[in-house]
Amino acid sequence: MLGQSLPEYIFILSSISLLRLVAPLSFLYLSYCLYTKSLTPCLFLFALLEASFYLFVYRPRKHVLQKSIYTPPPLTRAQRHALFLQCSKRIAGSRYPLGWFTSPNIKRQNVVEWILWALFSATPETAQESWEEEMEEYVTKVEELLGMKLEQGRIHTTSALRLTLDPVKMVHRPLIWYLVVALVDLITSLKLSFMGFTHYSNPSRIFPPRLFHIFTTPSPSATTHFSYWYRPHKSPTRDPIIFIHGIGIGLYPYLPFFQDLITATPDQGLLLIELLPISMHISSPPANSLPPVKSLLHGLYTTLDSLGISRAVLASHSYGTVLAAHVLRAQRESQQQDQPPRIHITSHLLIDPIPFLLHLPSVAFNFLYRPPRAANEWQLWYFASRDPDIAYVLGRCFFWAENVLWREDLGLDSGLDSESGKDQIIPAPLVRLYLTREDDVKPRWESQSQSHNRKLEVLYYPDLDHATVFDTKERRRGMVEVLGRFSVR
């Protein structure tokens, strides 16, 4: 992740401008060739491919990706009421829910529209009359939180941030960019192979094509939801590690981290879950994007069964912490029902976690709605937020109420949360305060459970941005040490 210096600002704006100019210049050159009836063969072929890619791939997909494929499971009235009360208790110094609106000037109908989306996954047009009494309770509570009486009517210049209903905002990226993605994917695959990993997947329609795919082993778990890399587990005294990556260019940024783990414990197994829809690839059709949570969990459990993994340490970063949250929540529910979990997660490491405090607008606004200003924000905006498939996943396959993780969901097992104080996506200072419940900022905070001898730890890096904890060996040292300690049986 870039910083905020002037050279980095110039570099990222220049890079984005060059990529965005490829399609217009291609059309301009083709027009020139048609007018002058002369051409340079290689340049003409390049321009023709780029123009065709824009007209026949990007434009049609931009229309298709606006459609919704997934509606979260409806909540009962009791569930909605409990969720709203839980959210209203965790204001964390903000005027909740005012941040969910594009302006502080709101009226009653503005709030109604937001509540319908946030709790009912509905719009005013699809609202049911039976919800009116319940809606009145929520509006009254919002008035209490804001300390003011809402006027009747609606301010039309103010709108709520409603991810699954708002347009999926994307920016064209040229064909040559996907060739870069293919090259990085190939480099990643070769390095993981040299580290001792084997790749498993099932055939799927992905662009750019994965050049290493000819060496891929068919997935014994038969899941089509993700591919994975596995380094066999040989240690009798440690548990294997499961790692789920975040939004970006796949597993490439984490390669030094994996090498550190292997160097520390060479006989420990590593399972790397690969989510291509959030890795700058094109999934065709869009329905091959991230499936509902239950399907993802079933695919993960089936994969673990096929590899003979019954217990493991779970590590995840950024968007990967969303899937990790569901695994932890499922295990906690099994514990409460005195049932054995599908997989025993002995400990967990959540790095730059997305699910905490999702009822606040920070993650949604910073990733999808914030106008970029600094270099690191421009980098996030073009290479992640406005990537067509990533924007589609967040706008049509992600719902806050389903993915939010509360402190009590962490269950009884040991766990660590790694926060970067200057994280440009998540409200890291508020998450740290929420988890530690202490105003004093410490580099490492620990909470010892009295009844189960379990520990929740928080690593806090006040000067780091999102994902920059992976940049140097020194920064990675704390995470490697924690995973080594957590994995000992």
Q: What is the residue range of 186's domain?
A: 175-487
Q: How far is CA 159 from CA 102, 325, 398, 419, 467, in A?
A: 6, 30, 20, 31, 31
Same domain, 375 and 290: yes
The CATH number given to whatever domain includes residue 297 is 3.40.50.1820
Does residue 482 lie within any of the structural domains?
yes
Same domain, 305 and 424: yes
Same domain, 312 and 425: yes
243-295: per-residue pLDDT in tens? 999 999 999 999 999 999 999 999 999 999 999 889 999 987 665 567 778 88
Band the pLDDT of 451: cuts 50, 70, 90: very low
Same domain, 184 and 124: no
Same domain, 465 and 344: yes
Same domain, 285 and 345: yes
Does residue 98 lie within any of the structural domains?
yes
Does residue 186 lie within any of the structural domains?
yes
Does residue 456 lie within any of the structural domains?
yes
Q: What is the pTM of this model?
A: 0.93
Does residue 185 lie within any of the structural domains?
yes
Average pLDDT of the chain to the nearest whole number: 89
Same domain, 121 and 237: no
Same domain, 475 and 364: yes
Domain total of the chain? 2
Does residue 194 lie within any of the structural domains?
yes
Does residue 250 lie within any of the structural domains?
yes
Band the pLDDT of 450: cuts 50, 70, 90: very low
Band the pLDDT of 94: cuts 50, 70, 90: low
Q: Comparing C-alpha atoms, which of 393, 384, 467 is closest to residue 173? A: 384
Same domain, 207 and 117: no
Does residue 22 lie within any of the structural domains?
no
- Tell whether the model's pLDDT for residue 453 goes beyond 70: no
Same domain, 222 and 345: yes
Same domain, 405 and 267: yes
- Tell whether the model's pLDDT for residue 31 goes beyond 80: yes
Same domain, 274 and 363: yes
345-369: per-residue pLDDT in tens? 999 999 999 999 999 999 999 999 9
**Dihedral sign (CA 121, 124, 127, 129):** positive
